[in-house]
């Protein structure tokens, strides 16, 4: 029987039992991909990470990210949470480093208790027509005031809603989304309202992830920020945002974004957050 130690943390919070839970396996060099997926399904969290020796000399570790259903090329809360655990365990002492991830090298910077990551740059595939979108999201007409299809390793339908109540009431219907546009049926659905440099959001992942809703999605911060810019909802002087997520699920999370604005988009995007350690245990298989 093999013993596999792991740590469980809550990410994008300073309070235990809030934020987004994450399991981190620190010694995964000899763990097969199939077993990683089975373990992630057993943990049944939004994501589980496995830390391995890096094959890239510019990266301190290789980090693989799994939902209960699939492996992801990149995700924000696992990157922040894994950096927190490795730092806490004394396995990383540098204030700035890179992880080797499926999407490529990802930079992480520690500032006090905050960990800032540089996500893959978001790109807009298209401005999404609003016709039929309100109904597909389970909302009344006029609730959705702007939408983009954004990709940054993961594809998002990012929709700006009129107010916080709309975000809480939303119930995306995958079949109806598929009728709005064929590529919306299996996509991450990011819904948010924005006021006073604070966004209130919910994220409904692609069904193949094996989870219904994510309480804190670091990978969505750059797409959210770019959507605000492209939908002309971002003041030209704004260079930082706060994002509240997970509140509807009882796991309130706080994510931070900072960036530079250009005429057509955003550059130098960073996603920041804190984490708390809940427990460490051993999986015997």
Q: Which amino acids are annotated catalytic?
A: 47
Query: Residues with Cβ < 8 Å from 174, sequence gap 6 or more?
Result: 185, 186, 207
End-to-end CA distance of the chain: give it in Å, rounded.
Answer: 6
Distance CA(204)–CA(217), nearest Å, equals: 10
Instruction: Record the tokens describing residue 180, joined without a space.
Output: 């709005």
- Which residues contact residue 30 at a Cβ distance below 8 angstroms, ignoring those fewer than 6 apart? none
C-alpha span between 278 and 14 (Å, rounded)? 11
User: Please, are residues 136 and 173 in contact by the beta-carbon 8 Å criterion?
Assistant: yes
d(CA 115, CA 108): 7
Binning the chain into helix, strand and coil, the percentages to the nearest 5 are 20, 40, 35
Other beta carbons within 10 Å of 141: 8
User: Which pairing describes strands 240-245 and 198-204: parallel, antiparallel, or unpaired?
Assistant: parallel
Please tell me the distance from the alpha carbon of residue 99 to that of residue 109, in angstroms, as a whole number.
Answer: 11
> Is the separation of the CB atoms in 214 and 46 below 8 Å?
yes
């Amino acid at each position: 029987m093999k013993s596999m130690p792991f740590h469980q943390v809550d990410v994008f919070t300073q309070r235990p039992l809030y934020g987004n839970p994450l399991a981190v396996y620190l010694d995964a060099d000899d763990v097969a991909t199939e077993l990683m997926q089975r373990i992630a399904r057993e943990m049944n969290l939004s994501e589980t990470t496995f830390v391995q020796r890096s094959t890239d000399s510019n990266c301190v570790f290789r980090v693989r990210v799994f939902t209960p259903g699939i492996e992801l090329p990149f995700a924000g809360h696992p990157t922040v949470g894994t950096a927190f655990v490795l730092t806490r365990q004394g396995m990383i002492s540098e204030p700035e480093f890179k992880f080797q991830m499926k999407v490529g090298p990802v930079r992480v910077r520690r500032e006090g208790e905050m960990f800032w990551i540089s996500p893959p740059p978001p790109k807009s595939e298209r401005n999404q027509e609003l016709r039929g979108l309100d109904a597909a999201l389970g909302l009344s007409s006029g609730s959705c005031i702007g939408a983009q299809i954004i990709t940054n390793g993961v594809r998002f339908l990012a929709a700006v809603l009129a107010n916080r109540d709309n975000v809480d009431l939303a119930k995306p219907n995958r079949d109806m989304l598929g009728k709005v546009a064929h590529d919306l049926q299996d996509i991450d659905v990011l819904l948010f309202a924005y006021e006073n440099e604070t966004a209130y959001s919910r994220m409904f992942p692609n069904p193949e992830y094996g989870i219904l809703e994510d309480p804190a999605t670091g990978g969505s911060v750059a797409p959210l920020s770019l959507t605000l810019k492209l939908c002309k909802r971002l003041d030209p002087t704004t260079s930082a945002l706060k994002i509240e997520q997970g509140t509807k699920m009882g796991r309130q999370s706080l994510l931070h974004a900072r960036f530079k604005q250009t005429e057509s988009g955003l550059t130098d995007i960073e996603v920041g957050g804190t984490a708390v350690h809940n427990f460490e245990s051993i999986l015997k298989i």
